[in-house]
Structure 1
């Protein structure tokens, strides 16, 4: 009799769980899209949001078969604001996923409350080293890169080209420090100066004067968004283009080129993606993006699009039922989608293993500006911090 009662209770429990799972799957999938939408860096957040939204729209407003409710919030590039708004997303809106996150200081502010609430955090840009090694977490996945990687491309290129003296410059926050560390990991020549500017700085006259005085063979910089636009313009106005090779990451890309135009042509950057990559997923994405937004997508757009694809693949794999969080994590880790960048799989720390390229700014026949691959620098490359991550 005891065994029969236990069996009935178990069956009833399974029926209730199944009913709850079915009810959840019938509700809208709530995505908290947190991006920077204020000031000069807003272009980065816009591109991530637009790339994500494009995939949702292509799939009839659904991800993984569930209708999507996307709640977009502006972190204003202020960690305290981001913390307040992410708590609202978690506690008031009860989102299933938090996605986006442009800057590393914002990721550092929201990482703990999101992951401790056992909510899935899908980073579409920021890749601070803080969460790639010992601070890795099973609820966090990135569809971009770990900060060091993309700057290591330039360090390796500078070393191979034989540049004897290099000037380094980045904003004074975690991503800036990661960028310089990444560059120096492969560059063995002389660093004539290492300058950290205020995040959001738009006047580089003092730094450019230092570069002129130091007379390096090359300069390496990480200046995203409006910072990059002003730096490229001022670099040319200072007359340094003929004597100093300009190497960068997130400075010459699809968000800055519409503003810098010819001033950036031929300047080098590093990336895991360009609009003219020759694969079917990318051709489809670029064509659809240009048709919808009347602009060339950037690497940020591509990362937002892949973030939506990742969520779509995982939600579909669990039949729309997110109640078994370990099953969702396993589905996310499989990365069962066709990335617009080509090769893509997750490392044990949930950052991508992927290819990285030296790219340069070019102008299309129709007058549009974009980046194109010059050469592949790393093949199926994982970040150096993954060895310190305790996840399998």
Structure 2
């Protein structure tokens, strides 16, 4: 009898230890995160900056987010919606990822966002913020740690009005992101728009358009071009001799990697955004220092918003103890945004886009001879995008 009892006890204990070991092994299985972005072609720089900062945050946490190991699957969308669609299918169906982060281009985002979120996969945008996803096309599974496209143009429109510019010409590439930004500028600009110039996506020669601009004699030009297009545009703007008579205002074009290429041709230009390396809070100081030590350069806004994306995931994964399969709990944890953002206070609006300050930044050369930006004005405080009331989650 005693031997039988002891045997049963040993078997039961062994089973419990086995179950515990299995549970512990399962708990340590890495969470797969697809990082989809543009890593080739003229718009590769923003994607690399976002990836570098995202991985820096993970590296600082010992390869973990929320205390759980993560496996980041880096995928190149080539800035092509059709390529992104195929990659997303692979990430969801073959790799079984519960989270996809990244995406620079609004053309790419609009092609894949609904597919991702409808499949119950969480999408964390580290850059693109097209207006449909902030309004009627919002989703409980979509979160942005960047900005709604219009925002970084709205602040420039307000600034142009504050500066008394009576007449402006608007220029951008002919795609969703560019259209959103021009609409954002006009929403807060109270002067006259002489012309809206839409050039083909990936066009790099702007000589004929700039000749036309010069003939119109506006008080300022507002422009937005992504990636390598921005470098070409600003250089040609300077070579055309326009900066001395027609100030160049922009959004998203005067990023730090671009300034390293543009050098003196960009000094004195103004751009609107939510973040700059001179933002005075401890989280930002630590981020800028760590990024400089790791990569040898001052981080860009692209890097800042991707770093915050990793911090957001870190906070949410910790709250659900790594159980991202509990979608309701994970969604609620994401919405809490319980982390120290590099921009200061961070809060999601009802459409899962941030409510945040927007400033104007001037391109300068610092005391080390580096090209960077400094805060010139903050026309918008705790700003909300124009579309959140159209979102059914409101």
Q: Which of 1 and 2 has greater Rg?
A: 2
TM-score by length of 2: 0.93
**In 2, Cα distance between the equivalents of 1:241 and 1:176?**
22
* Aligned partner of 2:89 among 81, 87, 99: 87
The answer to whether the Cα contact below 8 Å between 2:152 and 2:252 also exists between their aligned partners in 1 is no
Per-residue deviation at 1:97? 0.8
The answer to whether the Cα contact below 8 Å between 1:144 and 1:303 also exists between their aligned partners in 2 is yes
TM-score by length of 1: 0.94
**In 2, Cα distance between the equivalents of 1:212 and 1:21?**
69
Q: What does residue 216 of structure 2 align with?
A: 214
1:319 and 2:321 aligned: yes
**In 1, Cα distance between the equivalents of 2:172 and 2:335?**
32
SS in 1 for 2:238: helix
**In 1, Cα distance between the equivalents of 2:227 and 2:99?**
26
Q: What does residue 182 of structure 1 align with?
A: 184
Q: What does residue 161 of structure 1 align with?
A: 163
Q: What does residue 60 of structure 2 align with?
A: 58
Q: For 1:96-124, what per-residue CA distance to the aligned partner results, in whole angstroms no more than 9, with x for missing partners?
A: 21000001011011111110110110000
Change in CA separation of 1:21 and 1:330 when aligned onto 2, cut-off 3 Å: farther
The answer to whether the Cα contact below 8 Å between 2:224 and 2:253 also exists between their aligned partners in 1 is yes
Q: What does residue 252 of structure 2 align with?
A: 250
**In 1, Cα distance between the equivalents of 2:333 and 2:290?**
27
Per-residue deviation at 1:26? 2.2
Q: What does residue 191 of structure 1 align with?
A: 193
1:254-269 pair list within 5 angstroms: 254-269=256-271
**In 2, Cα distance between the equivalents of 1:20 and 1:344?**
38
TM superposition outliers: structure 1 runs of 4+ over 4 Å: 18-24
Aligned residues: 376
Any unmatched runs of 5+ in structure 1? 1-17
Per-residue deviation at 1:21? 8.1
User: In angstroms, what is the RMSD of aligned CA positions?
Assistant: 1.5
Q: What does residue 135 of structure 2 align with?
A: 133
Per-residue deviation at 1:23? 6.1
The answer to whether the Cα contact below 8 Å between 1:127 and 1:146 also exists between their aligned partners in 2 is yes
Per-residue deviation at 1:225? 1.5
SS in 2 for 1:366: coil
SS in 1 for 2:124: strand
Q: Which sits farther off after the overlay, 18-27 or 346-355?
A: 18-27
**In 2, Cα distance between the equivalents of 1:380 and 1:21?**
44
* Aligned partner of 2:356 among 348, 354, 362: 354
Any unmatched runs of 5+ in structure 2? 1-19
Change in CA separation of 1:66 and 1:207 when aligned onto 2, cut-off 3 Å: same
**In 1, Cα distance between the equivalents of 2:139 and 2:248?**
36
**In 2, Cα distance between the equivalents of 1:378 and 1:74?**
35
Q: What does residue 364 of structure 1 align with?
A: 366
